[in-house]
Structure 1
Amino acid sequence: MSTEPILPEDLERAIFEMAATHHPGMILALLRVAKRVYAWTEPILEQYRVVLVTPEANGRVVNVAGAALSNWEDAQFAQYVRHMWLDGNADLLSSPQALLRLTTNLTDLSVMGGVCVPALLPILCTMRLRRFTGCLWHLFGGIELIDLAHPALGSLTYLHILDALAENERIYNNLNSLPKLTHLAVFESVPGPIITQIFRICPRLEVFVVLYDADMDITLGEASQIDGVEDARLVLTAYPTDSAAWVRGACGRGDFWSAAEAFVARMRRRQIARPSPWMDN
């Protein structure tokens, strides 16, 4: 069958773009129509690789362009989702676990609020997540139940822990159970001895970020308990970690991870003096 156009190109393009936008489940078929159609519709598919479920979206699944996905249950489409922000306060979503069962090709998952529960673990085992943000205490159902050797976490390279790390010795003493971990982030101050312990047991760690609330006026004095830790991989920063900042990172436009990586690289090349590990965003 010929794929030569029979309509004016601008009209043909408008038709295909409209079909892809309003019926994302059709995009995979449209990509195979012709090279010109692929060029028009593939960028639209990219918009659906990043999805959010937030209270602001009233519990709906929303793509990065803000469009609600009424047909997210189309398994053919769901397999192309790579990044998901799932807010447990978005309680209008009837079944977040059903959503995760369909999006098995996720590589990046942020789970907030009450949806972060042990029932997610067998679902995460079906994925090969590279990035995870969440509270391990909630994910495993208790401090004493946290198992960093669990297969659900075995492929992680980036881990952003929302637990109070200083209060969870079980976490920081067992981070070496994550065989591929290279990037670690924690929220707010961590005592220097704990950081030293983490670097000791995780020699493959490339970046360790201690995050502070971006809305707070943090000074180096307030982070003084980290004084004495001299390691080029350590980064302290006040950086936004809300869903909007996450979307920028998921779309390749930069986040605290990429900023910290660049900061550490400059330090290793001695391009900037390092009086402290503090990084301005």
Structure 2
Amino acid sequence: MPQVHTEEPRLPPDLERHIFETVALSRPVNIPNLMLVAWRVKSWVEPLLYRVLVMDMFAARPIDGLPFITADVFLRLVTEKSGRFFPDSVKHLILGYKAWGGAPTNSHRHMSAILSACSGVTHFSLQTEVNLRPHELTALAGLQAIHYLAVDISRVFASTTVDFTHPVFRHITHLELRNIRPEKLGDTTWVQVAHIPNLTHLSFRVQEFCGSLGCTLCASLRLTCLIFLCPRNEDILAAAETVDDPRFAVMKFWSHSICVNTQVEWQQMGLTGESYWSKADRFLEARRAGDIDGRLIGTFADSVYHIDVQDEA
């Protein structure tokens, strides 16, 4: 028979809970082991296991410290938990799916159910090779708490004109547009972006950068940070020389696939709270204060973001 310990905890409950929650947040993948300590510990740390949910990824596997879950397993857990468990627990949702042999994976077939169960999510990164269906777009628009969003806009509005006035963007403050060629969208569409009601931060990949696009976006008084993600040095220089605005930044990503770079960043943001957004904000603030005199070039490298400054000279 295993030995059963009946001693009362020696630490004050608030302190004990703080210790276990700190350990759980530092490395969520170990939470299942912590849940075995005691029922009270399980009640404290189990919601933290799902705080950052990485599901059916194909662009990048979970970074060290984060667990991975499939759509089937997650939806089975949804039926076993109380109604508010997952809406209250899941804050960062990183969802990816693709078509295997022409058929979408389970996460696509059940995407509406996943979004409904994660209605309290604040940060959502969606990487897909399959077009969203109308009811899935409606489910995405129903995420009232979401403020950070990363999407392939061509997949979101695959069968219709891209519409940045759609309710999907109503509450968004930080928007990352993936797999988009800005020159393919008309000026009217980018004016819509500039008028998203709560948008303050915008990033997207730049290849053939158009100067009028930068002027259109910089005309928005709401935007405080505009980031162009560039794969090549020549693109970085072309973009940097075109836009003259204190809210503007250029960042270079290390992989040929932008989604690999930014998916890693979104996971890191959920785990540590740090992201290229927060680092760019600090850089831009320092530049406005006159503490930095140079050109911003950020680099995604080995899952760690760092900032290099090149003098204008």
- Indicate the TM-score class for this superposition, using the shorter chain for normalisation: 0.7 to 0.9
Please state if 1:83 is matched with 2:92.
yes
Quote the residue 2:69 is aligned against.
68
C-alpha distance 221-171 of structure 1, shift in aligned 2 (>3 A): closer
Quote the residue 1:130 is aligned against.
147
Contact 1:235/1:260 (8 A) holds in 2: yes
Tell me how far 1:204 sits from its aligned partner: 1.0
Unaligned stretches of 5+ residues in structure 2: 11-15, 25-30, 100-104, 255-260, 300-305, 307-313
Deviations along 1:33-58, one digit per CA (max 9) or x if unpaired, are 5xxx4xx753553231111113469x
C-alpha distance 224-108 of structure 1, shift in aligned 2 (>3 A): same
C-alpha distance 104-253 of structure 1, shift in aligned 2 (>3 A): closer
Contact 1:64/1:247 (8 A) holds in 2: no
* Inter-partner Cα distance in structure 2 for 1:209 and 1:252: 21
Please state if 1:112 is matched with 2:127.
yes
1:226-241 map, 5 Å: 226-239=240-253, 241=261
Quote the residue 2:203 is aligned against.
185
Quote the residue 2:183 is aligned against.
166
Give the partner amino acid of 1:260: A
Of structures 1 and 2, the one scoring higher in RCO (CA 8 A, sep 6+) is: 2
Contact 1:52/1:64 (8 A) holds in 2: no
3-state SS, counterpart of residue 145 of structure 1? coil
Contact 2:53/2:92 (8 A) holds in 1: yes
1:39-78 map, 5 Å: 42-55=44-57, 65-68=66-69, 70=73, 71-73=76-78, 74=81, 75-78=83-86
Tell me how far 1:219 sits from its aligned partner: 2.3
Task: List structure 1 segments (4+ residues) > 4 angstroms apart after TM superposition.
Answer: 61-64
Quote the residue 2:32 is aligned against.
21
Higher share in strand: 2
3-state SS, counterpart of residue 251 of structure 2? strand
Of 206, 217, 226, the match for 1:198: 217
Deviations along 1:58-91, one digit per CA (max 9) or x if unpaired, are x9x9996315373442343321211111112282
* Inter-partner Cα distance in structure 1 for 2:34 and 2:194: 45
Query: % of aligned pairs identical?
Result: 17
Quote the residue 1:27 is aligned against.
none
C-alpha distance 159-67 of structure 1, shift in aligned 2 (>3 A): closer
* Inter-partner Cα distance in structure 2 for 1:221 and 1:138: 25
- The number of residues matched between the two structures is 252
Tell me how far 1:208 sits from its aligned partner: 0.4
3-state SS, counterpart of residue 236 of structure 1? strand
Q: CA RMSD in A?
A: 3.5
* Inter-partner Cα distance in structure 2 for 1:193 and 1:256: 25
Give the partner amino acid of 2:289: R
Quote the residue 2:288 is aligned against.
268
Tell me how far 1:9 sits from its aligned partner: 4.0
**TM-score, structure 2 as length reference:** 0.69
Give the partner amino acid of 1:183: H
Unaligned stretches of 5+ residues in structure 1: 25-29
